[in-house]
Amino acid sequence: ETIATAKLNSNHAQLTETSTRVGDTQRINFSADSNDGWWMMGGMMSEWDVSLTQKLPLSVTLQAGASNTEADLSQAQLRSLVVEAGASNVRLTLGDKTNLTKLSLESGASSIVLRVPKGSGIKLSIDGGLNSKDLSDLQRISEDEYQTDQYDSATHKIEVTASVGLASFTIERY
């Protein structure tokens, strides 16, 4: 069973893959290595296509820098997702294949759209300079915390911790 595959289409970098295994945990790292100074010239383009197994529980870390990032993780057995992004446009689609998904999101000045299943209970703790937010059916429970009415009784829960710069933050239900 292949756990993850990646393809990189880039005008300045090459794909590097490393994999280590300790016990029953396998760590796979995909990175774009560039030593040619393109970053000083501008005009960089890198497009990733990453596929993940649907058969095993996963913890995923995505370090995106300043980017346009779209990730559909709706079919993955996602236990945790860490997203570190700079000034970015981020669009994430999560699924309900596990009882609990933990999302940690750190970004600079960004536009963030989080798509989640209608039946999932959501708890959101957000810290940062939001200039706009549309949190669907979440209610404010304290200064920086929001959650859905059915959070405690939901079969699938999503816990989101977000630390963002000036950002637009939207939760969409599907």
The pLDDT of residue 13 is 85
80-90 pLDDT per residue, tens:
999 999 888 99
| Average pLDDT value for residue range 65-78 | 92
Q: Out of 17-21, 36-40, 100-104, 161-165, pick the least confident.
A: 36-40
Q: How confident is the model at residue 16 (pLDDT cuts 50, 70, 90)?
A: very high
| Average pLDDT value for residue range 48-52 | 93
pLDDT more than 70, % of the chain = 94
Q: How confident is the model at residue 71 (pLDDT cuts 50, 70, 90)?
A: very high
Give the strand pairing for 121-134 and 110-116: unpaired
| Average pLDDT value for residue range 38-55 | 78
pLDDT at residue 108 is higher than 80: yes
The pLDDT of residue 35 is 61
- Exposure string for 150-159, b = 16+ CB within 10 A, e = fewer: ebeebebbbb
115-159 pLDDT per residue, tens:
999 999 999 999 887 778 889 899 999 989 999 999 999 999 999
